Amino acid sequence: MKISIIQPDLAWEDKSRNFRNLGELISPLYKETDIVVLPEMFNTGFSINPEQLSESPEAETFDWMKNIAQRGNFGLCGSYMVKENMHFFNRWVFVTPEKESWYYDKRHLFSMAGEDKFFSPGKTRLIFSFRGVRISPHICYDLRFPVWSRNRNDYDLIIYAANWPESRISVWNTLLKARAIENQCYVAGANRIGTDGEGIKYCGDSMIVDPRGVIIASANRNEESSVTGKISLTELSDFRKKFPVLKDADNFTINF
């Protein structure tokens, strides 16, 4: 399977401009990859303004994603603000060319930026299969909480959609590798570049990491681009059989 990450410079709270720019970055990947991963809040940047910017579950942004996935013949994913049942969610959505879709609501809200004051946390861990690969999605701050992402022998790939600041980029780089190693899985981390409307700077470092913690594809720092890497379920299975760490993992229960 081929996985592609888009590393954009997001326009602050400007959906139309972001759709145009992302469309230009994605179009060379049409029929050339299996999954395209976008960052967190890819249509607005990391804004705490859901009253003005959130959408119903299947509205403008969902329709845009559905159209791009069909034209490109790939799965398309990323997060954006959704309003449902009088609650706001930072929702990660995956759309297929066949019009199937899955979603995951961000579990760990970034309280230091006040995200928890405006959004409701997700309470459901999502795992689904696309083209034979079992996928577990997470959003940005989730990366710091390994229990939530612990592999129970039920997924092959973690996807992290993020707006991870440049000031803490070393943490991003370290934890993406750690999640791959401890869970014996592939990891795809999509981050943005540029400066947002709050003056926070981002440098990217989007990457795909293999189960040994080796970076197999990465985007250039501070460069708007796409990056593609191949993952192999055969190689993953062989590695897990040769070094079966997961069979010795601790059992646990998450309480809400």
Q: Does residue 61 surpass a pLDDT of 80? A: yes
Give the pLDDT mean for 7-17.
98
Would you state the pLDDT for residue 254?
85
Helices and strands in the chain, H and E counts: 6, 14
Report if pTM > 0.95.
Answer: yes
Q: Is 198 a catalytic residue?
A: no
Residue 151, classified by CB atoms within 10 Å of its CB into exposed (0-12), middle (13-18) or buried (19+), is buried
Give the pLDDT mean for 78-83.
98
Q: Please give the distance of CA 250 from its chain centroid, rounded to a whole number.
A: 26
pLDDT in tens, 115-150: 999 999 999 999 999 999 999 999 999 999 999 999
pLDDT in tens, 194-208: 999 999 999 999 999
Q: Is 203 a catalytic residue?
A: no
State the catalytic residue, choosing from 66, 77, 115, 140.
Answer: 140
Closest by CA position to 34, among listed 154, 172, 133, 167 = 133
Longest dimension (CA), the chain: 52
State the catalytic residue, choosing from 66, 106, 115, 185.
Answer: 106
Give the percent of the chain with pLDDT over 70.
100
73's CB contacts (< 8 A; 6+ apart) are 30, 31, 97
Q: Is 140 a catalytic residue?
A: yes
Give the pLDDT mean for 37-59.
97
pLDDT in tens, 234-256: 999 999 999 999 999 998 888 87
Tell me the fold of 2-248. Nitrilase/N-carbamoyl-D-aminoacid amidohydrolase (3.60.110)
